[in-house]
């Protein structure tokens, strides 16, 4: 006689928060062999190929491959001559503000809007600091900020406008793919992104002069003769091995975004029925790249965000507080700002990121949805 055994939650494999999508290894091997044969491990044909693919896919004049999104942000600020103050949202990954500090500028934090989680144009318009030279707006979880409103403010005040689009591949604004807005946009190709190069980043711009300077700065600041140093640059080249992976993965961007959109819509359809949850609003003029799925736990009578997070982890669901804490509360940034940013602080207390990745199985998503429902509704 068979003895049935109830499956314990601990017996189930964990559902990861994210998982990098990788193209078939067999398709990479011929190009990897070409790299091996050439002996050229950086600034070779596959870096050029990646940049060409990015220009075509994103509809921009220039694309510059770099070692990371963070190094790309640093180089953009350096190339634009930013030395005084940079405005960044208080609710973002610290790499945004890190880059400003690394070029010797100071950071001025700005609050966000709770509807879309991105930098608040109203709060930005209230900043009158004469030392501000640039605004670094951020794509949050795949959604670009309110670009036209930011453009008006920055144009009127002669501020440079840079987009930290680390999470933004596949995003659109008013029917146009992100990549060509502002003075420059910088994307991440790290393992957590929709398209990965293992490690790396892409700077996109429609300013060919700026792109030329960025190519020089990513290679220490070398002049045309590769001997003289014209400026103080970085070693920020992308390896050819990473460029091979990114070039292949990039071709699947549209499909990967579409798959993630279906998963997000499925989350929204199921979870919107649960009281006490609030979701990022995209609006009619923006399309997300769906890099992450993050929502707010707002119910005053239900479990807190941290309680939900703890119980999900116990159930084998990987999740995280994201972004937490807001920038002005980070240990490394203590003393940089004496202001309060109520929306950023509230979102940081309420937001939780749950599993979303290309190739996610529906049964795993159902498991996540079921656990959230059980925890919050106490079923």
293 and 242 belong to one structural domain: no
- Give the CATH number of the domain where residue 54 resides: 3.40.640.10
Mean pLDDT throughout 315-342?
Answer: 95
Task: Look at residues 195, 215, 250 and tell me which one is the last residue of a structural domain.
Answer: 250
User: In sequence order, what are the beta bridge partners of 119?
Assistant: 112
User: In sequence order, what are the beta bridge partners of 188?
Assistant: 201
- Domains contained in the chain, number: 2
pLDDT tens across 148-170, in order? 999 999 999 999 999 999 999 99
Distance CA 168, CA 140 (A): 8
pLDDT tens across 209-248, in order? 999 999 999 999 999 998 999 999 999 999 999 999 999 9
CB atoms within 10 A of CB 307: 13
Q: How many Å separate Cα 28 from the centre of its chain?
A: 25
Range of the domain at 146: 25-250
CB 186 within 8 A of CB 166: yes
Task: Look at residues 190, 225, 250 and tell me which one is the last residue of a structural domain.
Answer: 250
Share of the chain above pLDDT 70, in %: 97
The pLDDT of residue 378 is: 78
Query: Is the per-residue pLDDT at 4 higher than 80?
Result: no
Angle between helices 240-250 and 25-38 (to 10 degrees): 150
Query: Is the per-residue pLDDT at 136 higher than 90?
Result: yes
Query: Is the per-residue pLDDT at 299 higher than 90?
Result: no
Query: Is the per-residue pLDDT at 51 higher than 50?
Result: yes
Query: Is the per-residue pLDDT at 8 higher than 60?
Result: no
200 and 300 belong to one structural domain: no
Distance CA 255, CA 261 (A): 10
185 and 37 belong to one structural domain: yes
Backbone angles phi, psi at 125, to 5 degrees: -65, -20
CB 246 within 8 A of CB 345: no
Indicate the pTM of the whole model: 0.95
Query: Residue 68 falls within a domain, yes or no?
Result: yes
229 and 269 belong to one structural domain: no
């Amino acid at each position: 006689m068979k003895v049935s055994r109830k499956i314990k939650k601990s017996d189930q494999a964990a559902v990861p928060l994210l998982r990098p999508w990788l193209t078939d290894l067999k398709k990479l091997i011929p190009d990897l062999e070409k790299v091996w044969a050439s002996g050229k491990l950086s600034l070779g044909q596959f870096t050029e190929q990646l940049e060409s693919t990015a220009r075509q896919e994103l509809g921009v004049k220039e694309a510059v491959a770099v070692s990371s999104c963070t190094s790309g942000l640093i180089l953009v600020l350096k190339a634009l001559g930013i030395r005084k103050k940079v405005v960044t949202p208080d609710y973002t990954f610290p790499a945004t503000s890190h880059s400003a500090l690394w070029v010797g500028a100071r950071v001025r934090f700005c609050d966000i809007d709770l509807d879309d989680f991105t930098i608040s144009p109203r709060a930005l318009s209230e900043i009158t600091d004469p030392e501000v030279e640039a605004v670094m707006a951020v794509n949050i979880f795949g959604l670009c900020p309110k670009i036209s409103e930011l453009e008006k403010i920055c144009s009127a005040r002669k501020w440079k406008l840079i987009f930290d689009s680390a999470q933004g591949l596949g995003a659109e604004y008013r029917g146009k793919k992100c990549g060509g807005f502002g003075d420059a946009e910088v994307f991440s190709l790290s393992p957590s992104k929709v398209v990965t190069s293992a490690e790396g980043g892409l700077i996109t711009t429609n300013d060919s002069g700026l792109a030329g300077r960025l190519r020089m700065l990513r290679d220490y600041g070398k002049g045309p003769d590769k001997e003289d140093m014209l400026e103080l640059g970085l070693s920020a080249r992308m390896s050819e091995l990473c460029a091979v992976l990114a070039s292949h993965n990039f071709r699947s961007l549209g499909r990967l975004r579409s798959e993630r959109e279906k998963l997000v819509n499925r989350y929204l359809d199921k979870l919107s029925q649960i009281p006490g949850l609030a979701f990022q609003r995209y609006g009619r003029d923006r399309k997300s790249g769906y890099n992450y799925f993050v929502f707010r736990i707002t119910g005053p009578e239900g479990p807190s965000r941290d309680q939900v997070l703890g119980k999900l982890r116990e159930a084998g669901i990987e999740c995280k507080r994201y972004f937490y804490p807001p920038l002005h509360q980070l240990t490394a940034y203590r003393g940089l700002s004496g202001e309060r940013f109520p929306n950023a602080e509230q979102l940081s207390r309420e937001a939780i990121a749950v599993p979303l990745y290309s190739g996610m199985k529906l049964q795993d998503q159902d498991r996540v949805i079921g656990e959230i429902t059980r925890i919050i509704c106490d079923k």
